[in-house]
């Protein structure tokens, strides 16, 4: 079984503002668990969330930046598992920004969910991405408007 997750959302902000929300650590802190992010190909960083041992997740996500096209596209690995050095989820997250109607359409795609367990994990991740795009990033952007 194989599945990819795709979620998109429209924001009434130009791509420059959305790009900052995706690449500026101060803004990332408002909507994600990512630490020490730099939009530089090859840069490795982590994100820490609540462990879910019963689901085989120790709470640490390992990332490596794969592609950076300023104001248009950002791609990085998204890996995790039950303990350090044991990776059972190996996917790629790609953010795409498209100017539209005076704002920006932001699409996130997480690709590479393979196997039965990861197939089901993809549905959990899809719900998470929907919440991030519709609520968390929106809230972070509101702090810029204030």
Residue by residue, pLDDT tens for the chain (146 residues) are: 999 999 999 999 999 999 999 999 999 999 999 989 999 999 999 999 888 887 788 889 999 999 999 999 999 999 998 888 888 999 999 999 999 999 999 999 999 999 999 999 999 999 999 999 999 999 999 988 76
State in Å, rounded, how far the first CA of the chain is from the last one.
45
Rounded to 5 degrees, φ, ψ at 2 are -140, 145
Local structure of 127: helix, strand or coil? helix
Q: How many CA atoms lie within 13 A of 90 on its CB side?
A: 5
Distance, in Å, from the CA atom of 39 to the CA atom of 144, rounded to the nearest integer, reads 20
Q: Which of 131, 32, 123 is nearest to 74 (CA)?
A: 32
What does the pLDDT read at residue 57? Answer: 85
């Amino acid at each position: 079984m194989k599945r990819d997750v795709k979620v998109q959302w429209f924001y009434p902000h130009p791509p420059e503002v959305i790009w900052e929300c995706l690449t500026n650590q101060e803004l990332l802190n408002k909507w994600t668990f990512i630490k020490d992010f730099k939009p530089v190909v090859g840069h490795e960083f982590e994100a820490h969330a609540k462990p879910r041992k019963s689901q085989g997740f120790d709470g640490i996500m390992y990332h490596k930046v794969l592609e950076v096209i300023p104001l248009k596209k950002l791609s990085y690995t998204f890996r995790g598992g039950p303990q350090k050095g044991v990776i059972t989820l190996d996917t790629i997250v790609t953010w795409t920004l498209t100017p539209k109607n005076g704002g920006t359409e932001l699409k996130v795609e997480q690709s590479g969910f393979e196997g039965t367990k990861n197939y089901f994990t993809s549905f959990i991740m899809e719900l998470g991405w929907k919440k991030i795009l519709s609520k968390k990033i929106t809230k972070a952007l509101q702090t810029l408007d204030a």
